[in-house]
Amino acid sequence: MTDIATSKTHAAKFSNGMHYLHDPALNKGTAFTEEEREALNLRGLLPPGIQTLEEQVMRVMGNYNRKTSDLEKYIFLVALQDRNQTLFYRVVMDHLETMMPIIYTPTVGLACQEYAHIFRRPRGVFIAAKNKGRFSDILRNWPDRDVRIIVVTDGERILGLGDLGVAGMGIPSGKLSLYTACAGIHPAGCLPVTIDVGTNNVDMLHDPLYFGMRHPRIRGEAYDEIIDEFVLAVQENFPNALIQFEDFGNTNAFRLLNKYRDRVCTFNDDIQGTASMSLAGLYSALRITGKTLAAQKILFLGAGEAGTGIADLIVTAMIHDEGLSLTDARRRCWFADSKGLVVKSREKLASHKLPYAHDHEYHPYFMDVVRALKPTAIIGVSGQPGTFTGPVLSAMAEYNERPIVFALSNPTSRSECTAKEAYVWTKGRAVFASGSPFEPVTLDGKTFVPGQGNNAYIFPGVGLGVISCGAKRVTNDMFLAAAKTLAAEVSEADLNRGSIYPPLKRVREVSWKIAVAVAEIVFDQGLAAIPRPDDLPEFIQSKMYEPVYPVYA
């Protein structure tokens, strides 16, 4: 990453000191020193008092805590990011557990729903279908040329909220903020992109403030041509960039991943990142139950990209770790979708469901599926709230001494059950994790601190490892290594309080260790663009951005 230029270069470029105050990458606000104010023509443009970064953080937090709603806090933080990039990341990193639910899930979901109404300034690049043929020119408009990570969405499946069209831009922006906060990837190397191919959301189309393309979603060959042109434009403009596909609908997510994964450096976080995070949670849960991965019978509620992605990585782990055959490993994973149990006798199953369509009596209702299969673990990725009902949870506790219950759908309003419901209905025996955060639960004198199965434990570290050594491709082995690394960071103290993930405050350290593990695979598989460093952990550490102010004079 190119370092910020010297004060002389800046002085030559900007004769007016106001430019320093209006560029979030350069702005230091009241932290500009006397020497800088003189050299950069800032004298009189700021109050005379000079403050440290720590004092500025104190002021920000005071204002933040006066906000009365999470959406207002989100708007406040986005405005700070647009004004002073260094201060924004310092605040987020110093208060990560507080900020994570605001800058990302669950609040980012509400922010996307209200995107057109709370819009202040554009962030990222908007690729509109009407500009087909000019995508490369559009990407050239982005001011930072050393882009290393692009998070792109077409807005069709935003969290569990569905099609939000161009309003889905909050997701790539939020993800990239986490890349920086959690793994130290320099903000200048991050580019959020939304591809606007229309929306089927009638409310959006009828909203006078919606500023996306007002027509139904483009499908078929025309859609594929748009994605092809975008990927080619990225290769032309940012040849060192990792492309992360985010929140694409099931119709396209698997297909695009399979199409591009062996051609460019890319992955799909909803499929592969979620899978790695979930597998790490299972590894931790098995330390509590005392069972092996091969001994599990796992039932998924929801058979989309997240669920089948998780199952695929679990199958890989069963084969690699415990020597199962592909058939035997898949037989340990079962799916229920909106129509009931996925079995071979059902007609017109989507291709990604077929490997998990087993010979079994069909059951249309999830409760009946649970009774028939008696699973050791249920994993919710359905986006259907309240589907892990009291009877379902009670049945899980009847069949298992320590039932594993993962309610992973986001945002909180879409969770299959709450932490309290999971603990109450299983009499405190559930090994629970959720996609969105829940407060600790006290039951019969014991306090449980539920772990949040947050992809932020995985994708920042994977991305850091990939770009640090210039990986040509992203492989499933990297996500398997990330899962094992994350699980190894869960302490006995974490498990004793009911958490199967480490505290979020440790996520930067965890991301560094995941990046090292991923980089090892990159070098071992011959995918690196650089020679292997003598001290790989130190090398990765040296690539991690720290939000401190530069010295201009």
CB 19 within 8 A of CB 26: yes
Helix (H/G/I), strand (E/B), else coil: 122: coil
| Local structure of residue 124 (DSSP, 8 states) | S
What number of residues does the chain have?
553
CB 104 within 8 A of CB 181: no
pLDDT tens, position by position, 233-285: 999 999 999 999 999 998 899 999 999 999 999 999 999 999 999 999 999 99
The number of angstroms, rounded, from the C-alpha of 328 to the middle of its chain's C-alpha atoms is 31
278 residue type, one letter = S
Report the pLDDT value the prediction gives residue 11, as an integer from 0 to 100.
Answer: 44
What helix, strand, coil percent values describe the chain, rounded to 5? 50, 10, 40
| Domains, the chain | 7-100 (1.20.1370.30), 102-264 (3.40.50.10380), 272-455 (3.40.50.720)
Using pLDDT thresholds of 50, 70 and 90, give the confidence band for residue 15.
Answer: low
pLDDT (mean) for 355-366: 97
CA atoms within 13 A on the CB side of 394: 5
Rounded to whole angstroms, how far apart are CA atoms 307 and 303? Answer: 5
11 residue type, one letter = A
pLDDT (mean) for 536-546: 97
How many percent of the chain have pLDDT more than 90? 93
Rounded to whole angstroms, how far apart are CA atoms 73 and 173? Answer: 16
| Local structure of residue 295 (DSSP, 8 states) | G
Which positions ≥6 away from 426 have C-beta within 8 Å? Answer: 393, 394, 396, 397, 403, 405
For residue 356, pLDDT over 90 is answered with yes
Rounded to whole angstroms, how far apart are CA atoms 540 and 515? Answer: 7
For residue 1, pLDDT over 90 is answered with no
Rounded to whole angstroms, how far apart are CA atoms 520 and 532? Answer: 9
Q: Which of 399, 496, 382 is nearest to 447 (CA)?
A: 496
Report the pLDDT value the prediction gives residue 251, as an integer from 0 to 100.
Answer: 86
Rounded to whole angstroms, how far apart are CA atoms 127 and 101? Answer: 28
CB 355 within 8 A of CB 327: no
Q: Which of 190, 192, 195 is nearest to 173 (CA)?
A: 192
| 182-186, 300-304, 527-531, 549-553: least confidently modelled range | 549-553
28, 73, 175, 513: the catalytic one is 175
For residue 14, pLDDT over 60 is answered with no
What residue ranges in 91-186 does DSSP mark as E strands?
Answer: 125-128, 149-153
Report the pLDDT value the prediction gives residue 410, as an integer from 0 to 100.
Answer: 87
Helix (H/G/I), strand (E/B), else coil: 208: coil
> Angle of helix 220-237 relative to helix 250-260, nearest 10 degrees?
40
Average per-residue pLDDT for the chain: 95
Instruction: Please enumerate, as own/partner, the contacts of 343-346 that have beta carbons within 8 Å and a separation of 24 or more.
Output: none
Helix and strand element counts for the chain (H, E): 25, 14
Helix (H) or strand (E) holding 337: strand 333-337
> Active site includes 104?
yes
Q: Which of 230, 247, 105, 243 is nearest to 177 (CA)?
A: 105
pLDDT (mean) for 375-388: 96
Helix (H) or strand (E) holding 340: strand 340-341
For residue 8, pLDDT over 70 is answered with no
CB 449 within 8 A of CB 497: yes
Q: 337 forms bridges with which residues in the sheet?
A: 340
pLDDT tens, position by position, 398-452: 999 999 999 999 888 899 999 999 999 999 999 999 998 999 999 999 999 999 9
64, 104, 457, 549: the catalytic one is 104
| Cis peptide bond N-terminal to 411, omega within 30 | yes
